[in-house]
């Protein structure tokens, strides 16, 4: 008998290996922050300026109840631009997570990219593979949470969110916006979380 599971996999054809490995992975709901979790007023870094989006709480509860792991992946170039500090970002994030917990929602992971090539603060004045539209944060979230990205969902409010999700191989990509936007292959445009839930259930 094979001595371990990895050795055991070698007795199956390649497609069976993939099915077995993916069966151990979970579905994820990946969220941008500003414009999805909260109203985007530009470089939000205080509680006073932070307002949760209407319809967010029930949507996240449904996703959580259906077994999705919840992750926030957010560009925070305000740090590189010296508009707020890492500490300010961390304090606001801690408050946000506690507010969500009070609504019965547990966020499994929050990742942020502070870098920007036009920044003024070292060492954040540079490009980063984590900075959307690059897929780095999504791939990191998938690794940490053991996500099957092909069965996961990304909700963002900008084209760069959709591009990052596509590059990472996220199966369902929802563009949350009330504006007229270009059609992107494989992207569903939703105006609010009610429409997002319809698309979510269809997926």
**The two three-digit tokens of residue 68, written as one number:** 């999705």
Nearest to residue 63, comparing CAs of 30, 35, 93? 30
pLDDT at position 12? 39
Which residues form the catalytic set? Answer: 32, 34
Strands 28-31 and 69-75: parallel
pLDDT at position 24? 82
Torsion of CA 134, 138, 143, 145, to 10 degrees: 170
CA 36 to chain centre: 10
- pLDDT > 70: what percent of the chain? 88
Sorted by where each starts, the structural domains of the chain and their CATH numbers stand as 28-153+164-202 (3.40.50.1000)
pLDDT band at 201 (very low <50, low <70, confident <90, very high): confident
pLDDT at position 5? 31
SS3 77: coil
Angstrom distance (rounded) from CA 8 to CA 117? 47
HSE-CB for 80 with a 13 A CA cutoff: 18
Say if residue 10's pLDDT is above 50: no
- pLDDT > 90: what percent of the chain? 83
């Amino acid at each position: 008998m094979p001595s371990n599971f990895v050795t055991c996999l070698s007795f199956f054809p390649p497609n069976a290996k993939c099915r077995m490995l993916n069966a151990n992975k979970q579905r994820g709901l990946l969220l941008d922050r500003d414009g999805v979790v909260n109203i985007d007023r530009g470089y939000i870094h205080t509680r006073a300026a932070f307002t949760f989006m209407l319809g967010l709480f029930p949507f996240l509860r449904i996703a959580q109840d259906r077994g999705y792991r919840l992750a926030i992946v957010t560009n925070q170039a305000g740090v590189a631009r010296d508009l707020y500090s890492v500490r300010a970002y961390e304090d606001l994030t801690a408050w946000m997570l506690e507010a969500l917990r009070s609504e019965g929602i547990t966020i499994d992971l929050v990742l942020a990219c502070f870098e920007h090539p036009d920044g003024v603060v070292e060492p954040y004045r540079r490009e980063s593979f984590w900075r959307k539209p690059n897929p780095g944060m999504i791939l990191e979230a998938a690794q940490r949470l053991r996500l099957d990205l092909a069965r996961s969902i990304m909700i963002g409010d900008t084209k760069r969110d959709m591009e990052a999700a596509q590059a990472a191989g996220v199966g369902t990509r929802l563009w949350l916006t009330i504006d007229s936007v270009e059609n992107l292959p494989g992207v569903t445009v939703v105006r609010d979380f009610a429409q997002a839930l319809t698309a979510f259930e269809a997926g």
